[in-house]
């Protein structure tokens, strides 16, 4: 699922992972729509020699495009002398107005609490909610009653639902990475499932996040774990499909979970965006700026796999569903299920026009009560780089009237008057290497002229309740969304500057050490379920996952290599600012400094 609205249409292929298994170099990826259709056709025709009729299902993630592939397969089969019956599964959907009505409870229209109508409630049902019972029964009859010598192609979202799946001889699944799914919705090349009614982009995304993506995610996970898929198809480019035989795809995922890997980032412009990451990663000059760098926001990023010399881009959550226990560890799966319980991104305000908004996030009870979300939204800021005058806002100032601040920002929403926020919100001078903890309920903001590594907790969506945003407009000229009603309810007013210094911004303390290296804890608190550390070394450092995944960021240094102690070939070379995952399965590993200066690696681990 995804909750990003404006991903920049750029693919950063610096993050390539090469899974290693016996025979990997001889593995083949079928590239191209014609070639993929021909590959499927051959298997179907072979099966048709043994059966009177063959049923093929083609399912896919929300926004997947089916028509071209179905048309090509149909033509191939017809030319081979067999009859073809192509059946869109949408024929069994409920009427569009019925679908809209049943999901309206998950998309409330309360403009007092949610003026831009950004939020909703997660739909926890399944794909059968989209089907009309009578139409679905008729569809099953059509599939099962095909005449001899006929190939039936059933296609569309939710074709893989169990009762249809039972009738299939073959199943293909067209997957789409989150960035491309969002860009298709934004460009009008895709619509919400079960309806083609015109609606604004914001409305499309809201329905997609709370209903379509969530429902697709559940069925995709079920199919991946069932091993009933015959062909995994990367459908990110609808004009250049990439087909991987299931056995090869399975082996690639099984191999990757044994080694460190990096996800493909997503870049986003923003009104307060800076230029630090643009410079270091050589991003396109056509970008206005780079505000958010989604290096490891699990629901937003993807994994690029080198399979037999072909790059295949898959959603990170597809990999998570395939390898949950080996990737996350038993403790994490027991506590959080098959969700990656952390998220990592950069907030870049270096040489920008201003601060990030003054904001607050909800705790677990509020998130579940109002949004049916998975849990609380805690955050933290690690200062990677800081320029002149950089500071980070965290908590209220000692002696400040926080209630009056809330009143002033509510008044400003009506009058447009600016608020003297520096009189109310506590700030600390930002210094590289400084860690700020931001448990739910803490008012905070990143100031201008710095690069922050933001680390957050499980919540899949982005429940950022902007309290004050300096009366500025967004890049598209529209007012920035403010959620002071939600924010006021979750604010922890007693968290002032003194409390912040005692609890949220504390000096590092030693955690571990070895020959030429040491590890310090830069941030821990009872309110947070993760521990934030820094590994400092000149040549190398020893580590061990001990059954828990690690997330590493090269926060200072030129380049390091992260190597499994079990096999030197299972490694990843990190450059400055790279963020990688070391799966729980890896166990003992070492970090080798490839540069001439001391290195500092930020490490996150579950407590």
| Residue range 186-217, pLDDT digits in tens | 999 999 999 988 899 999 999 999 999 999 99
pLDDT classification of 346: cutoffs 50, 70, 90: very high
User: How many domains is the chain partitioned into structurally?
Assistant: 3
What percent of the chain is predicted at pLDDT more than 90?
Answer: 92
Q: Supply the pLDDT for residue 558.
A: 96
> Do 480 and 532 belong to one domain?
no
What is the spatial distance between Cα 225 and Cα 228, in angstroms, rounded to a whole number? 8
Residue 297 lies in a domain: no
List Cα–Cα distances, 313 to 30, 222, 299, in angstroms.
14, 20, 14
Q: Look at residue 2 and tell me whether its pLDDT is greater than 50.
A: no
> Do 219 and 175 belong to one domain?
yes
Residue 281 lies in a domain: no
- CATH code at position 429: 2.60.120.10
Residue 535 lies in a domain: yes
Q: Supply the pLDDT for residue 459.
A: 66
User: Is 349 in contact with 446 (CB distance < 8 Å)?
Assistant: yes
The rounded mean pLDDT for the chain is: 96
Q: Supply the pLDDT for residue 1.
A: 34
What is the spatial distance between Cα 555 and Cα 334, in angstroms, rounded to a whole number? 31
Residue 127 lies in a domain: yes
Q: Supply the pLDDT for residue 460.
A: 59
What is residue 211's DSSP assignment? I
Residue 582 lies in a domain: yes
pLDDT classification of 480: cutoffs 50, 70, 90: confident
User: Is 554 in contact with 593 (CB distance < 8 Å)?
Assistant: no
Q: Supply the pLDDT for residue 479.
A: 81
User: Is 468 in contact with 357 (CB distance < 8 Å)?
Assistant: yes
What is the spatial distance between Cα 257 and Cα 268, in angstroms, rounded to a whole number? 28
Residue range 298-314: mean pLDDT, rounded: 97
Q: Look at residue 402 and tell me whether its pLDDT is greater than 60.
A: yes
Give the number of C-alpha atoms closer than 13 A to the C-alpha of residue 309, restricted to the C-beta side.
Answer: 4
Residue 10 lies in a domain: no
Task: Report residue 143: phi and psi, to 5°.
Answer: -65, -45
Does the global pTM surpass 0.85?
A: yes
* Alpha helices (H) along 235-299: 246-256, 276-280
For the chain, the residue count is 607
Domain boundary among 476, 503, 530: 503
Q: Look at residue 3 and tell me whether its pLDDT is greater than 70.
A: no
- Tell how strand 579-582 and strand 358-360 pair up: unpaired
Long-range CB contacts for residues 278-285, cutoff 8 Å, separation at least 24: 278/348, 280/576, 280/577, 281/12, 281/14, 281/577, 283/10, 284/8, 284/10
Q: Supply the pLDDT for residue 499.
A: 98
Residue ranges making up the domain that contains 515: 509-606
What is the spatial distance between Cα 510 and Cα 530, in angstroms, rounded to a whole number? 17
- Tokens read off for 448: 């201008």
Residue range 518-534: mean pLDDT, rounded: 97
Residue 413 lies in a domain: yes
Domain boundary among 454, 473, 503: 503
Give the number of C-alpha atoms closer than 13 A to the C-alpha of residue 580, restricted to the C-beta side.
Answer: 28
Q: pLDDT digit string (tens) for 96-118?
A: 999 999 999 999 999 888 888 99
Residue 441 lies in a domain: yes
Residue showing tokens 């209903």:
211
> Do 475 and 518 belong to one domain?
no
List Cα–Cα distances, 603 to 555, 581, 600, in angstroms.
10, 10, 10
> Do 458 and 590 belong to one domain?
no
> Do 78 and 203 belong to one domain?
yes
Q: Supply the pLDDT for residue 6.
A: 87
Residue range 360-380: mean pLDDT, rounded: 92
Q: How many CB atoms lie within 10 A of CB 571?
A: 17
User: For residues 512 and 376, which has the higher predicted lDDT (pLDDT)?
Assistant: 512
> Do 515 and 449 belong to one domain?
no
């Amino acid at each position: 699922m995804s909750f990003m609205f404006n991903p920049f249409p750029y693919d950063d292929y610096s993050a390539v992972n090469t899974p290693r298994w016996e025979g990997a170099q001889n593995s083949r990826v079928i590239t191209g729509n014609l070639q993929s259709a021909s590959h499927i056709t051959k298997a179907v025709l072979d099966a048709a020699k043994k059966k009177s009729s063959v049923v093929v299902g083609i399912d896919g993630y929300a926004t997947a495009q089916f028509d071209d592939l179905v048309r090509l397969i149909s033509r191939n089969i017809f030319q081979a002398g067999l009859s073809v019956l192509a059946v869109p599964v949408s024929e069994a959907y409920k009427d569009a107005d019925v679908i809209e009505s049943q999901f309206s409870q998950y998309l409330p229209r309360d403009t007092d609490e949610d003026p831009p109508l950004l939020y909703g409630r997660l739909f926890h049902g399944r794909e059968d909610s989209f089907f009309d019972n009578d139409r679905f029964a008729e569809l099953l009859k059509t599939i099962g009653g095909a005449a001899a010598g006929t190939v039936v192609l059933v296609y569309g979202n939710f074709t893989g639902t169990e009762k249809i799946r039972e009738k299939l001889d073959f199943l293909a699944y067209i997957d789409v990475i989150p960035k491309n799914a969002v860009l298709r919705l934004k460009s009008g090349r895709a619509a919400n499932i079960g309806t083609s009614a015109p609606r604004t982009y914001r409305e499309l995304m809201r329905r997609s996040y709370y209903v379509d993506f969530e429902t697709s995610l559940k069925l995709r996970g079920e199919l991946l774990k069932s091993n009933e898929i015959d062909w995994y198809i990367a459908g990110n480019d609808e004009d250049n499909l990439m087909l991987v035989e299931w056995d090869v795809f399975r082996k690639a995922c099984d191999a990757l979970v044994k080694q460190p890997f990096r996800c493909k980032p997503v870049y986003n412009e923003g009104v307060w965006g800076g230029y630090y990451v643009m410079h270091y990663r050589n991003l396109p000059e056509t970008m206005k700026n780079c505000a958010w760098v989604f290096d490891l926001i699990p629901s937003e990023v993807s994994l690029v796999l080198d399979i037999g010399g072909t790059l295949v881009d898959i959603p990170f959550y597809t990999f998570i569903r395939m390898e949950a226990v080996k990737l996350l560890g038993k403790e994490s799966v027991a506590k959080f299920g098959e969700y990656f319980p952390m998220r990592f991104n950069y907030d870049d305000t270096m040489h920008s026009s201003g601060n990030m908004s003054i904001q607050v996030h909800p705790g677990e009870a509020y998130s579940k009560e109002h949004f049916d979300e998975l849990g609380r939204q805690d955050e933290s800021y690690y200062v990677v780089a800081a320029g002149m005058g950089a500071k980070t806002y965290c908590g209220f100032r000692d002696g400040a009237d926080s209630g009056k601040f809330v009143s002033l920002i509510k008044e400003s929403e009506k009058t447009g008057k600016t608020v003297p926020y520096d009189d109310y919100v506590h700030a600390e001078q930002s210094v590289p290497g400084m860690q700020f903890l931001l448990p739910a309920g803490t008012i905070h903001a990143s100031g201008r002229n710095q690069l922050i590594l933001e680390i957050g907790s499980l919540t899949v969506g982005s429940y950022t309740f902007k309290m004050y945003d300096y009366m500025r407009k967004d890049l598209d000229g529209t007012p920035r969304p403010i959620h002071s009603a939600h924010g006021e309810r979750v604010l922890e007013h007693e968290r002032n500057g003194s409390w912040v210094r005692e609890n949220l911004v504390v000096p590092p303390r030693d955690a571990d050490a070895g020959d030429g290296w040491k590890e310090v804890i830069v941030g821990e608190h009872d309110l947070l379920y993760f521990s934030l550390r820094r590994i400092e070394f000149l040549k190398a450092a020893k580590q061990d996952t001990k059954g828990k995944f690690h997330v590493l960021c090269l926060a200072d240094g030129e380049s390091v290599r992260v190597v499994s102690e079990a096999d030197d070939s299972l490694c990843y070379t990190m450059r400055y600012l790279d963020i990688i995952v070391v799966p729980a399965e890896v166990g003992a590993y070492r970090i080798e400094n490839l540069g001439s200066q001391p290195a500092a690696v930020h490490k996150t681990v579950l407590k």
